[in-house]
């Protein structure tokens, strides 16, 4: 019960890393406010976290109104907010010469603007409590250039580098106020974020991806959730401004 009676907001909670994080946090005693644009996915999650008294706020957290409602729902339902997990995000691969302005704006909104907005509306409550923890989802893409199927993931990488710098900048600004801010940087994680192809094609993609990992396999969402739990809990009480790399040795080569 490492999060006993703590109140946690998790964005992108309907699937993948966010879903695993919500289930783990509930098991560890947290009271939850969960967000996703996938309303049906949120509803399907609820039986997995029965008894946690979880609340949901559906919608795109790149919309300031939704980000504000998340913070307000936490205060209204539970009286505080102790943990914010900025997990919502999408993947994208396209060369810079082919990417449209609309595609760029959408990616920046979902992956980075949403983090800014959630932090903007949660931090004032954490300041009043003189305590809080924020965990942002960055990536190995925060550190390196990458390609996929012959196209660059440069724009996605920019959002994840931004998540890393947002983490460091907020961490140093609010450390003396009792707010810790860290990020998790996963490698290949077998989620549905790529939304590509037939089941056989998806399976083949992940088989190929596993070959880039020195450990010889891809991560499962629950393994990333465990890293998020460490940073969200008091076990990491002297850790702030840090990227926790969970990549099977990818960046160590």
Q: Does residue 12 have a pLDDT over 80?
A: yes
Sequence-separated (6 or more) residues with CB below 8 Å from residue 165: none
Q: What is the pLDDT of residue 98?
A: 96
In the residue annotation, 156 being an active-site residue is answered as: yes
Per-residue pLDDT band at 108 (split at 50, 70, 90): very high
Given CA atoms 232, 238, 239, 240 in this order, what sign does their dihedral have? positive
Q: What is the pLDDT of residue 196?
A: 60
| Strand-pair partners of 179 | 132
Q: What is the pLDDT of residue 195?
A: 58
Catalytically annotated residue among 25, 78, 116, 156 = 156
User: pTM of this prediction?
Assistant: 0.94
CATH topology of domain 7-244: Rossmann fold (3.40.50)
pLDDT tens for 145-197 read 988 878 999 999 999 999 999 999 999 999 999 999 999 999 999 887 655 66
pLDDT tens for 233-243 read 999 999 999 99
Q: What is the pLDDT of residue 149?
A: 77
Q: What is the pLDDT of residue 212?
A: 80
């Amino acid at each position: 019960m490492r999060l006993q009676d703590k109140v946690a907001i998790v964005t992108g909670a309907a699937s993948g890393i966010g879903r695993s994080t919500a289930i783990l946090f509930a098991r560890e005693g947290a009271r939850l406010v969960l967000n996703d644009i996938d309303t049906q996915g949120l509803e399907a999650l609820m039986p997995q976290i029965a008894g946690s008294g979880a609340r949901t706020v559906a919608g795109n957290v790149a919309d300031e109104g939704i980000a504000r409602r998340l913070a307000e729902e936490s205060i209204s339902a539970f009286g505080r907010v102790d943990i914010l997990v900025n997990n919502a995000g999408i993947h994208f691969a396209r060369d810079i010469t082919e990417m449209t302005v609309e595609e760029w704006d959408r990616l920046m909104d979902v992956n980075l603007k949403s983090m800014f907005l959630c932090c903007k509306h949660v931090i004032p409550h954490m300041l009043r409590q003189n305590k809080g923890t924020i965990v942002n989802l960055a990536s190995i893409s925060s550190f390196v250039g990458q390609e996929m199927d012959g196209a660059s993931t440069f724009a996605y990488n920019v959002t994840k580098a931004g998540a890393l710098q947002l983490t460091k900048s907020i961490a140093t600004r609010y450390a003396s106020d009792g707010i810790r801010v860290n990020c998790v940087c996963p490698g290949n994680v077998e989620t549905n974020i790529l939304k590509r192809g037939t089941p056989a094609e998806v399976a083949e993609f992940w088989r190929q991806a596993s070959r880039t990992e020195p450990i010889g396999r891809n991560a499962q969402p629950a393994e990333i959730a465990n890293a998020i739990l460490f940073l969200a809990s008091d076990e990491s009480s002297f850790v702030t401004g840090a990227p926790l790399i969970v990549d099977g040795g990818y960046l160590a080569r």
